[in-house]
């Protein structure tokens, strides 16, 4: 049985021998974050995937993230260490449903959150992440109708911030959507004076209570610059490791117990090593779908939040 340090050393050797780059989301377990070349939110990782010179991209996240990397790098090998690492929100809307919605609103611009399948992205005009959703919506002419899929909570937050009336698909993140007012208020009573900072995938009731609402990358920047020293964090618990690692002088409390995405926790050091050693599991995207999806993704990357 290898120690964590031995697994990490093996992963680094394999990575270097294969000319690979390891990208990891903030929600990954600490050991995966520590061995990754880049750790970030969806937008940051999409930019890294688009710009990397590595021939092999190992994506420590969930399937839609690895698919996005493949969309942007059709000639490179993109590996997802655990094939079943998916996203419940992404599964809540299909390309066929988007096509039906487009028939009902033929003049509408379709914005798809990156937490969506390749097929859904291919039916979209532009993608967005939680980091740049506001900027993406603001880039659409005011007279154009907007269809926003699949996250109703992010869509509601963006609509409130921009004043745009959008057609929202009724999808949601099962993890963020579970956070309740009672849980937040209990946390605030336990830590009076702590700033409440939440992800826009939380419900409108929760985002209305928050001192700040942002993507994970945005939350990190907020707490770095904020003079306060104590924070209640309303997003997946894996992000606390990043916050504590980058802000040693501050204290963080998770807004609810069990605030954890099971799919994000599937990748372990042994599985990452197997992925590199055995070429597991390659992402394949049909070219006809990839070309359409790449147009929506590249439009997203061209917009700075």
Domains held by the chain: number: 3
Q: What pTM was estimated for this model as a whole?
A: 0.95
294 and 149 housed in the same domain: yes
Residue pLDDT, tens place only, 261-296: 999 999 999 999 999 999 999 999 999 999 999 999
133 and 103 housed in the same domain: yes
156 and 183 housed in the same domain: no
206 and 276 housed in the same domain: no
Give the CATH number of the domain where residue 102 resides.
Answer: 3.40.50.10800
116 and 151 housed in the same domain: yes
| Sequence-distant (≥ 6) Cβ neighbours of residue 6 within 8 angstroms | none
154 and 295 housed in the same domain: yes
The yes-or-no verdict on residue 11 having pLDDT over 70 is yes
163 and 133 housed in the same domain: yes
246 and 271 housed in the same domain: no
The yes-or-no verdict on residue 215 having pLDDT over 70 is yes
110 and 145 housed in the same domain: yes
137 and 206 housed in the same domain: no
Domain encompassing residue 195: 176-260
- State the pLDDT at residue 145: 97
78 and 101 housed in the same domain: no
Residue pLDDT, tens place only, 158-191: 999 999 999 999 999 999 999 999 999 999 999 9
* Residue 170 burial class via C-beta count within 10 angstroms: exposed 0-12, middle 13-18, buried 19 and up: exposed
294 and 164 housed in the same domain: yes
- State the pLDDT at residue 8: 96
């Amino acid at each position: 049985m290898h120690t964590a340090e031995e697994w990490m050393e093996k992963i680094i050797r394999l990575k270097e021998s294969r000319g690979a780059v390891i990208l990891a989301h903030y929600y990954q377990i600490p050991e995966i974050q520590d061995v990754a070349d880049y750790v970030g939110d969806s937008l940051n990782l999409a930019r890294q995937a688009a710009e990397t010179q590595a021939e092999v991209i190992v994506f420590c996240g969930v399937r839609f993230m690895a698919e996005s990397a493949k969309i942007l790098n059709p000639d490179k090998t993109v590996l997802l260490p655990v094939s079943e690492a998916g996203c419940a929100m992404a599964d809540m809307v299909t390309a066929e449903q988007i096509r039906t919605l487009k028939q009902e609103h033929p003049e509408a611009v379709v914005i798809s959150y990156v937490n969506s399948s390749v097929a859904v992205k291919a039916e979209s005009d532009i993608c967005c992440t939680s980091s740049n959703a506001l900027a993406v919506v603001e880039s659409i002419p005011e007279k154009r109708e907007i269809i926003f899929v699949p996250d109703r909570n992010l869509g509601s937050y963006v609509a409130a911030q921009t004043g745009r009336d959008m057609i929202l698909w009724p999808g949601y993140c099962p993890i963020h959507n579970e956070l309740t007012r009672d849980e937040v208020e209990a946390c605030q009573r336990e830590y009076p004076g702590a700033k409440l900072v939440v992800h826009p995938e939380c419900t409108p009731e929760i985002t209305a209570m928050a001192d700040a609402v942002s993507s994970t990358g945005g939350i990190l920047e907020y707490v770095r610059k904020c003079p306060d020293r104590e924070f209640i964090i309303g997003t997946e618990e894996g992000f606390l490791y990043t916050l504590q690692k980058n802000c040693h002088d501050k204290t963080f409390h998770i807004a609810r117990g069990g605030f954890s995405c099971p799919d994000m926790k599937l990748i372990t050091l042994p599985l990452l090593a197997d992925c590199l050693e055995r070429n597991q599991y390659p992402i394949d995207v049909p070219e006809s779908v990839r070309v359409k999806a790449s147009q929506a993704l590249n439009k997203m990357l061209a917009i700075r939040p």
